[in-house]
Homo-oligomer: A and B are copies of this chain.
């Protein structure tokens, strides 16, 4: 329902341009936490005139009004998701995938921590995801589970 997205943008004070609607639609449907580059490629394929700077400007505008969120879970590039209930994220150092995880937070917007006023909380968990643990066992189930080269931490 495009109308719903138009309303969402209008309510946020943003002109609902086709480009912004396309980016937002993509994020509504894609829960893999894409980078700006990935968003650009996907949107560009249906909307060939769009340029990367517009994607960046759009992401920045959507973020500012709280319609999407930016994750700094990886140093190389920001990741984006349509705003939902705040939740932690897990990034696999083997395959690089990012998962939403279902865990309560100890702090919430509006709280006070050590006298500081909380407005947002981002929890990033790093490790090896369920799929990659399984693969490792399947490929080599006589040796212990050993950690290979670390991508990051």
Contacts and interface: CB of A to CB of B under 8 A. Distances in A.
Contacts of A106: 103-106
Report the interface size class on chain A: 35 or more
A82 interface: no
A103 B120 CA distance: 15
B130 A115 contact: yes
B126 A101 contact: no
A74 interface: yes
15 contacts: A64-B150, A72-B73, A75-B78, A90-B116, A90-B118, A102-B114, A103-B106, A117-B127, A117-B129, A118-B125, A119-B153, A120-B127, A121-B126, A122-B125, A122-B126
Given A99-B114, A116-B127, 18 more contacts: A66-B153, A72-B75, A75-B78, A88-B107, A90-B114, A90-B116, A103-B113, A105-B106, A113-B125, A114-B130, A117-B128, A117-B129, A118-B125, A118-B126, A120-B126, A121-B123, A122-B126, A124-B124
